[in-house]
Amino acid sequence: MQRSALLDAARALLSEGGTEALTFPALAQRTGLARSSVYEYFRSRGAVVEELCAVDFPVWAAEVEMAMAAAESPEAKIEAYVRQQLALVGDGRHRAVVAISAGELDAGAREKIRAAHGGLVAMVVEALRALGHEQPRLAAMLLQGVVDAAVRRIELGAAESPEEITEAAVKLALGGVCD
């Protein structure tokens, strides 16, 4: 129960103020716990983020997978893959996962996050294979690069609206993988 409250507080802090906002005193204040109690659950900010990734990423990936499953053609699956990820950018779970720099995470945590992203990329490989792509795994990784670049634009509050960024990413993805 306390762990869940701490994770909820961490999500909120990261969404509201980014990395700087995620402090143990702020977590304690948000949850009504003593600061020393926060340390009983997590040893560092990196450990908080690692747990957020472990809890939130599978849910996030399942949402992408469901959107792809509802699409009927390989092109529609690719479009769903891009659109669903970008739709989730404003979600507090996603903001928490990207808000803290990978430099604050230990090698094991970074590897877990990389593996989770690898599972996300694997979702689109079959759609690319169905389109006859010669190297579907490579194309999937490059497609995820387009998505990641769009995520960064949205997260940075670029001049373009999130909708414009999403449309550009979908157009690039479909034009680049469906030729």
The parts of the chain modelled with pLDDT lower than 50 are 101-102, 177, 179
Q: Which residues contact residue 123 at a Cβ distance below 8 angstroms, ignoring those fewer than 6 apart?
A: 61, 64, 65, 68, 81
Same domain assignment for residues 36 and 121: no
Q: Which two tokens stand for residue 168?
A: 């550009």
Same domain assignment for residues 87 and 19: no
What range does the domain containing 86 cover?
A: 45-176
Rounded-to-integer distance, Cα 102 and Cα 113, Å: 9
Q: Which two tokens stand for residue 115?
A: 């593996």
pLDDT of residue 154: 86
Same domain assignment for residues 98 and 166: yes
Rounded-to-integer distance, Cα 42 and Cα 48, Å: 6
pLDDT of residue 112: 72
pLDDT of residue 101: 46
Q: CA 86, 89, 92 angle in degrees (round to 5)?
A: 155
Q: CA 140, 143, 148 angle in degrees (round to 5)?
A: 125
Same domain assignment for residues 105 and 121: yes
